[in-house]
Amino acid sequence: MNPFWSRILIAIALLPVVLGAVYVGGWWVFALVAVAAALSLHEYWLMARALAPLAPAGYVGAALALVGAELSGIDWMLGGVLSTLVLAFVLKVFSSARPAATAAISATVMGALWIGGGLGFLILLRELTPHGRLALFTVLIAVWAGDTFAYFGGRVFGRHKMAPTTSPGKTWEGFVFGTAATVFIAFIALYKQDFLTIPQSIGLGVVLAIAAPIGDLFESLLKRDAGVKDSGSLLGGHGGMLDRLDAFLFAAPAAYFAILAFTG
C-alpha cells in the first residue's frame, strides 16, 4: 500500500481510540499510555542495542513512573524514573554484557526518562483540574495539526533544510506551516473556554510549536546513530510507535509546565 494512504488509514483507525480514552480519562488514559510506552521502549531498546541497555530496569522504571503519575502526580512519577538508575546498576553488576557500565546504564535511564517520563506528562495533563480533558485534547490535536501541516508544507514549499544532517526531510518552510497550524489550533481550542486567556493560549501554541519539532529531531538524531530510517514498522507508513510519539515526548512536558506557569 502507498505509504501516504497507509498513514491516513492508520490515523483514522487510531484517532477514535485515543480521543475516546482522553475523553473518559482516568485509568483509560493510563492504559493507553502504558501500551504506547511499552511498544516505544521496545523499539528504543532495539535501536540502542549496541549499548546493551538493561531493558528490564527500563521497563520497571517507566512503569513506576506512569503509575506514580496516575496515583500521586509529578513527585512520584519522578521517583519512578529515578528508580531506573538503581535497578540498572543492580542488573549491570550481574550482567555479562561487554559494553561499559556507563553506556549501558545511561542508555537505560535515558529510555525510562525520555519515554516513560515524557508520556507520563500526558497523564499529568489529563489530571489537571478542572480543565485536564481540554488541556490534553488541545495538546494532542495541536501537535498532530502542526506535524501534518509541516509535512505537507515542507513537501510543497520546502527549500531550506532545517537540520540537513540530522533530518534531511525537515525544512524551515515546513516549520513555519506547522507553527501556524499549532498556534491556530491552540487558539481555537481554548477560545472563550474559561481556562487560558487569548495571549496565554497563543503562548501555549508557540511552546508546542517549538517543543514538538525538537522532540522529532531528538529521535532523528538517535535513529541516525542507530543507522535506521524508522524506529519500527508497527504503524505502516507512520513507522514505529516511537516515530508517532517523539514530538509528544517533548511537547507534553513543555505544555504541562507552561500551563502551570500561566495558571499558577
On the question of pLDDT at 148 being above 80, the answer is yes
The residue among 94 and 217 whose pLDDT is bigger is 217
Burial of 28 (0-12, 13-18, 19+ CB in 10 A): middle
- Reported as a single tens digit per residue, the pLDDT across 38-90 is 999 999 999 999 999 999 999 999 999 999 999 999 999 999 999 999 999 99
On the question of pLDDT at 1 being above 60, the answer is no
Furthest CA-CA distance within the chain: 59
On the question of pLDDT at 250 being above 90, the answer is yes
Q: What is the pLDDT of residue 238?
A: 66
What average pLDDT does the chain have?
91
- Reported as a single tens digit per residue, the pLDDT across 150-164 is 988 988 898 899 888
Within 10 A of 256 (CB to CB), how many other CB atoms are there?
21
Q: What is the pLDDT of residue 237?
A: 61
pLDDT grade, residue 6 (50/70/90)?
low
On the question of pLDDT at 178 being above 70, the answer is yes
User: Average pLDDT for residues 92-96, to the nearest whole number?
Assistant: 83
Least confidently predicted of 14-18, 50-54, 118-122, 259-263: 14-18
On the question of pLDDT at 234 being above 80, the answer is no
Q: What is the pLDDT of residue 230?
A: 83
Least confidently predicted of 8-22, 119-133, 165-179, 238-252: 8-22
On the question of pLDDT at 105 being above 60, the answer is yes
Q: What is the pLDDT of residue 14?
A: 81
Share of the chain above pLDDT 90, in %: 74
Say how far apart CA 6 and CA 236 lie, in whole Å: 6
User: Average pLDDT for residues 177-191, to the nearest whole number?
Assistant: 96
CA-only gyration radius of the chain, Å:
18
On the question of pLDDT at 184 being above 80, the answer is yes
The domain ranges of the chain are: 26-127, 131-264
CA 234 centroid distance within chain: 16
pLDDT grade, residue 264 (50/70/90)?
confident
Q: What is the pLDDT of residue 61?
A: 97
